[in-house]
Amino acid sequence: MKKELLYLHQLPQHLLGLLAIHTWKGEKRTYKGIDYYLCNVNASFSCGQYIIVSNRWYPDGLHDVRMRRLILHEHGHSRQSLYLGWSYLILVALPSVVLNLLCRKGYINWKQYYKLYPENWADRLGGVTRV
């Protein structure tokens, strides 16, 4: 019963995650007990318990430390979703998307991205250390 309630607690994110996995034909993988879906998309993101990871950025997969760090970071976002429930979309997902777009357009330096909310919180929750 608790598992079902937690799923409902994050229902909007879960529906988006299932849609993304289906749309991009995600291939389920596991790293350190964390399930994620490898997809041919130019973004990586977390939708509740569903972690979508791009297969375009790190062709060496889990042999690349950046890929492992990315999965742990997205796992941190999954934990944020668990804590915040439906409000995750407004309090975390929206600011994260806006920051990402600002970085892609060159308004914010990528080196600053993970120092800002909500990315710094996701790193802490995922156990990611950046230098």
> What pLDDT is recorded for position 37?
97
> What pLDDT is recorded for position 57?
86
| Residue 25 covered by a domain | yes
How many independent structural domains does the chain possess? 1
| Residue 14 covered by a domain | yes
pLDDT above 90: residue 58 = no
CA angle (2, 80, 118) in 5-degree steps: 170
| Residue 74 covered by a domain | yes
pTM for the predicted model, two decimal places: 0.94
Q: What does DSSP say about strands 50-54 and 27-31: parallel, antiparallel, or unpaired?
A: unpaired
Comparing CA positions, the residue from 10, 8, 1, 2 lying closest to residue 77 is: 10
| Residue 84 covered by a domain | yes
Domain that holds residue 37: 2-126
Check if the beta carbon of residue 80 is closer than 8 Å to that of residue 122.
Answer: yes
| Residue 77 covered by a domain | yes
| Residue 131 covered by a domain | no
- What CA–CA distance (Å, rounded) separates 21 from 38? 9
